[in-house]
Amino acid sequence: MITTNINKAAKALQNDDIIAIPTETVYGLAGNAYSENALKKIFAIKKRPYYNPLIVHIKSVSSLSTIASDVPTMALKLAEEFWPGPLTLVLKKQPHISDLITAGKETVAVRVPNHPIALAVLEKLDFPLAAPSANPFGSISPTTAGHVFDYFEEELEVILDGGSCERGVESTIIGFEGNQPVLYRYGSISVEEIERVVGPLLFTVNNDNTPNSPGMLSRHYAPITDTYLTNHVADLVHSFQGKKIGLLLYKNEIPNQEDAIQEVLSENGHLHEAATKLYAALHRLDKSNLDVIIAEKFPDDGLGKTLNDRLQRAIKK
């Protein structure tokens, strides 16, 4: 059930239960990162394949050395700049970190979430939290407690309500090849913001056979309704005449489309606002019994790159 009781949430976690917690990006499906039992439950509830590793959530930079070793100077610089916040670092793991978390890799993904409730829960625990996004594998990430409830009413006894997620898209994931920082997943912090701190990033190739970061799988974050992504929404609307259409738009409604449901993400054209609202709008459209969702491409820089990346993975191939 949905609750705001932090003590109840901490107790459940100490009992090896899996609960939903709010973070500034999206809601997470959290369990004790040091309990094999809890980790297995996360995979079972999410129906997530074991080859897809989890992010470990810690309460502060000072806990990092309990999770990772040989942390590059650049990683520390990024942590100092962006934690608590929507940056996940992929680092060499400490030997005790479970293979369930890392999918058998030698690296572990870790971040400090920037949400008062997530931090308050972590403060009550003597273990870190493993937490993937709180959606079934492959579907749209949740940005409200209600979204989580719709997915996991049956499976979760505790859904900790922290309101709507302030960022609305997942963390940016950065790894290292030697001392070279590498982008594994576009996210809430733009490439430009990261590069301002550590210089040019390498970009991993998006390859379904050997995904470096399965958030990079080509179909992910997907609604059930057929979804298209275009620069020319009006033209595409025209070609779906007679269908029930939902429009996901950046700044402006499409005129003379009384029958279409239109979701405008940011009338003033703020990418941050659009990011915050994106998944909630997709959830609403996906529940509106439509034949098709047509999404408008965002300007392709800054946070726009992240939003285009997510929409690209939501479309039918």
For the annotated binding site for L-threonine, the residues are 25, 57, 111, 131, 171
As a residue count, the chain comes to: 317
Q: Is 102 in the site for ligand TXA (CB under 6 A)?
A: yes
State the burial class of residue 104 (Cβ atoms within 10 Å of its Cβ: 0-12, 13-18, 19+). Answer: exposed
Q: What is the b/e burial string over 203-229, where b = at least 16 CB atoms within 10 angstroms of the residue's CB? A: ebeeeeeebbbbbbbeebbbbebebbb
Cα–Cα distance list, 21 to 119, 131, 134, 289 (Å): 10, 9, 8, 29
Taking the complex as a whole, the smallest distance from the CB of residue 198 to ligand TXA amounts, in Å, to 18
Question: What is the per-residue binding string for ligand TXA in 260-289, x denoting contact by CB under 6 A?
Answer: ------------------------------
- Classify 56 in phi/psi space as left (phi over 0), alpha (psi -120 to 50) or beta: beta
Q: Is 26 in the site for ligand TXA (CB under 6 A)?
A: yes
The residue type of 313 is: R
Question: What is the per-residue binding string for ligand TXA in 49-88, x denoting contact by CB under 6 A?
Answer: ---xxxx------------------------------x-x
* The one among 23, 35, 139, 308 contacting ligand TXA by CB under 6 A: 23
Residue number, 31 or 132, with CB nearest to ligand TXA:
132
- Name the residue among 60, 82, 293, 314 with its Cα closest to residue 198: 82
Contact residues: Mg ion, CB under 5 A: 133
* The one among 128, 168, 215, 246 contacting ligand TXA by CB under 6 A: 215
Q: Is 98 in the site for ligand TXA (CB under 6 A)?
A: no
Taking the complex as a whole, the smallest distance from the CB of residue 6 to Mg ion amounts, in Å, to 24
The angle subtended at Cα 31 by Cα 114 and Cα 70, nearest 5°, is: 65
Q: Do 117 and 160 contact (CB within 8 A), yes or no?
A: yes
Q: Which does 55 bind (CB under 5 to 8 A by kind): Mg ion, ligand TXA, none?
A: ligand TXA
Residue number, 25 or 312, with CB nearest to ligand TXA:
25
Q: Which does 109 bind (CB under 5 to 8 A by kind): ligand TXA, Mg ion, none?
A: ligand TXA
Residue number, 187 or 246, with CB nearest to ligand TXA:
187
Taking the complex as a whole, the smallest distance from the CB of residue 223 to ligand TXA amounts, in Å, to 16
Cα–Cα distance list, 177 to 1, 75, 99, 161, 296 (Å): 43, 12, 21, 38, 35
Please identify, among the stretches 19-27, 236-244, 273-281, 283-291, the one whose residues bind ligand TXA according to the rule CB under 6 A: 19-27
State the alpha helices, DSSP H only, in 83-204: 99-102, 116-123, 145-152, 191-198
Q: Which does 52 bind (CB under 5 to 8 A by kind): ligand TXA, Mg ion, none?
A: ligand TXA
Residues making up the annotated binding site are: 25, 48, 52, 57, 107, 111, 131, 133, 141, 171, 185, 221
- Name the residue among 241, 230, 231, 194 with its Cα closest to residue 85: 194
Strand ordering across the sheet containing 129-130: 2-3, 159-160, 19-21, 28-32, 129-130, 55-57, 107-111, 87-92, 172-177, 180-185, 202-203
Q: Is 173 in the site for ligand TXA (CB under 6 A)?
A: yes
* The one among 43, 151, 152, 184 contacting ligand TXA by CB under 6 A: 184
Q: Which does 28 bind (CB under 5 to 8 A by kind): ligand TXA, Mg ion, none?
A: ligand TXA
